[in-house]
Structure 1
Amino acid sequence: MKRTVLPFVLLLAAACGPRYGMRVPDKLVEKLPYESRIELLESENDLALAIDTVDEASNEVLRARDAIRRAKARESAAEEEENRAADTASREVAKLAIEEARARVTYLRAKQRLNVGLRDVEQLALRCAFARYELARLQSTRKAKVEGSEKLDVKKYEGQVSQCEAKVKEERAELAEDSAQEKTAREAWEVKKAALAKKTFDARASPYVENL
Structure 2
Amino acid sequence: MFMKRIVLLTLPLLAACGSRYGMRLPDEMEKNLPYETRIELLEAENALALAYDKVDEASSEIVRARDNIRRARSRAQAAESELDRAEDTVSKEVAQLTIEEAEARVEYLRSRQRLNVAKLEVEELAKQCAVARFELSRVTAARKAKVAGSEGLDPKEFESQVSECEAEVKEERAGLGANTADEKAAREAWEAKKAALAKKTFDARTSPYVENL
Assess if the C-alpha contact under 8 Å between 1:71 and 1:101 holds in 2.
yes
The farther-off stretch of 153-162 and 1-10 is: 1-10
- Aligned mates of 2:33, 2:7 — CA distance in 1: 22
After superposition, the Cα gap between the structure-2 partners of 1:9 and 1:103, relative to the gap in structure 1 and judged at 3 Å, is same
- Aligned mates of 2:129, 2:73 — CA distance in 1: 38
CA shift at 1:98, angstroms?
0.7
TM-score normalised per structure 1: 0.94
CA shift at 1:87, angstroms?
0.3
- Aligned mates of 1:75, 1:164 — CA distance in 2: 43
Q: Does 1:13 align with 2:16?
A: yes
> Percent identity over the alignment?
65
Assess if the C-alpha contact under 8 Å between 1:28 and 1:149 holds in 2.
yes
Q: Does 1:144 align with 2:145?
A: yes
- Aligned mates of 2:9, 2:195 — CA distance in 1: 49
* Residue 130 (structure 2) aligns with: 129
User: Deviations along 1:48-91, whole A, 9 cap, x unmatched?
Assistant: 00001000101111111111111111111111111110100000
Q: Stretches of 4+ moved more than 4 A in 1?
A: none
CA shift at 1:6, angstroms?
4.4
Assess if the C-alpha contact under 8 Å between 1:193 and 1:209 holds in 2.
yes
* Residue 186 (structure 2) aligns with: 185
After superposition, the Cα gap between the structure-2 partners of 1:66 and 1:4, relative to the gap in structure 1 and judged at 3 Å, is farther
Unmatched 5+ stretches in structure 2: none
* Residue 94 (structure 1) aligns with: 95
Name the SS for the 1:2 alignment partner.
helix
Aligned residue identity for 2:149: G
CA shift at 1:30, angstroms?
2.9
Assess if the C-alpha contact under 8 Å between 1:197 and 1:208 holds in 2.
yes
Aligned residue identity for 2:143: R
Name the SS for the 2:110 alignment partner.
helix
Name the SS for the 1:211 alignment partner.
coil
After superposition, the Cα gap between the structure-2 partners of 1:30 and 1:4, relative to the gap in structure 1 and judged at 3 Å, is closer
TM-score normalised per structure 2: 0.93
CA shift at 1:169, angstroms?
0.3
Name the SS for the 1:23 alignment partner.
coil
* Residue 160 (structure 2) aligns with: 159
Aligned residue identity for 1:149: S
Unmatched 5+ stretches in structure 1: none
